Each structure stands twice: as structure tokens, then as C-alpha cells.
Amino acid sequence: MYIKNNIRITECHNVYRPREDSDLLADSVSKLARGKVLDMGTGTGIQGIIAAKAGCEVTFSDISSHAIKCARHNAEQNNVEGTFAVSNLFESIKGKFDTIIFNPPYLESARLGAESNDYVKMATEGGEDGRELIDAFIKDSYRHLAEDGRVIMVESSINKYELDVERLKAEILGKKHLFFEDIVVISYINGKR
């Protein structure tokens, strides 16, 4: 069981459990999420639940149907309603959102090794350079952001977050050094590039 901001999260088998990056992201979500929210890669649902508790209308989305089941359970135990969708990034997502939250997989494939199971790869692998999913997400995010909509997402020094800060005119909302990397939460706004 994980507890943050009076929210109780059941950690489900084969679903990315809340960690330091989740805590850092949660701090920004609690302050900035507004309106219609998409919690992409929802995992346990922690970020969407925080947004819903702040009065937002939330769509919980993940590529894993198992994660969606976990997020739905956690939403129910926290008396939160929402829409739940199995989707590979924006593939099954319709409409525009005021806030999109994303804690993407960003480790390079080589870092994981051949012995990693499918769950570990799905939750952490970001492609050969760690940017494959991040770049695909950023490219498509603008089509799903409302005018002046905001993205709040985690990145790492591993995937060179500084590049996105510069090219997206993103703001760094939080930063934490962990072992071999710096984890950051960045935010960019539609129409401000």
C-alpha cells in the first residue's frame, strides 16, 4: 500500500508502482492539473486520482489492460470516477485535454538487458536512446491539447531532458538526483513554442 496526500494506492503485480519519480510528478499535478485531464501511462492511477481529487475530469489511459484494471480499483477505493481506456499512446484517445500527465518509460533498451521480462520492458524501456516514446508522445500531444493546454511529464538526464526544455520552451517544475540520473518534471503549454 502506498499513501500520498491522503490517497491510498494498492500496488498491483506487474504494474509500475509509485516511486520517487511518481512523488515528484504528483507534487506538480496537485498544483497545476485543471479541467479535462488525460493521465497517460496511468499505471496504478496515482496521478489521475490526484487530479480527480482536485476537481478534474480524468481519463485514465495505459497500454496495459492489467494497469487499467489496477487504476480502476484504486480510483474506486479513493471514491474517484473517471473514464478508463487501453491505448498505445494516443492511438485510442479522442478529444482535447486541458492537462495531459505522462510518466513515460525512458531507459535505453541496452540498459535493461535481455533477461528483463515484458512487464519491466513495458514500464521502463524508452527505445534505443530512451527517447522513442517521449518523442512520439510530444509529437502527438499538441493534437490532443486544448488551446493553452498543459503537459506535465517526467524526463531524465538519461534521455537528455535539456533538449526538450529548450525546444519546447518547457519549464522545469521539479528535480531530484537519484543514483545515476537526475529526474525532472517538465511542463510545456500548447501554443508557446
pLDDT category of residue 132 using cuts at 50, 70 and 90: confident
The CATH number given to whatever domain includes residue 91 is 3.40.50.150
Q: What is residue 45's DSSP assignment? A: S
Q: Is the pLDDT confidence value at 67 over 60?
A: yes
Higher pLDDT, 191 or 125: 191
- CA separation for the pair 98, 78 (Å, rounded): 23
Q: Is the pLDDT confidence value at 106 over 90?
A: no
Q: Is the pLDDT confidence value at 138 over 70?
A: yes
Task: Say what percent of the chain tops pLDDT 90.
Answer: 72
pLDDT category of residue 129 using cuts at 50, 70 and 90: low
β-strand pairing of 57-62 with 36-40: parallel
- CA separation for the pair 15, 89 (Å, rounded): 17
Angle at the Cα of 190 (from 181 to 151), degrees rounded to 5?
Answer: 35
Q: Is the pLDDT confidence value at 123 over 70?
A: no
Q: Which domain holds residue 172?
A: 2-14+21-189
* Domains in the chain, number: 1
What is the structure's pLDDT at 131?
A: 82
Q: Is the pLDDT confidence value at 4 over 90?
A: no
What integer best gives the mean pLDDT of the chain? Answer: 88
Distance of CA 22 to the CA centre of its chain: 8
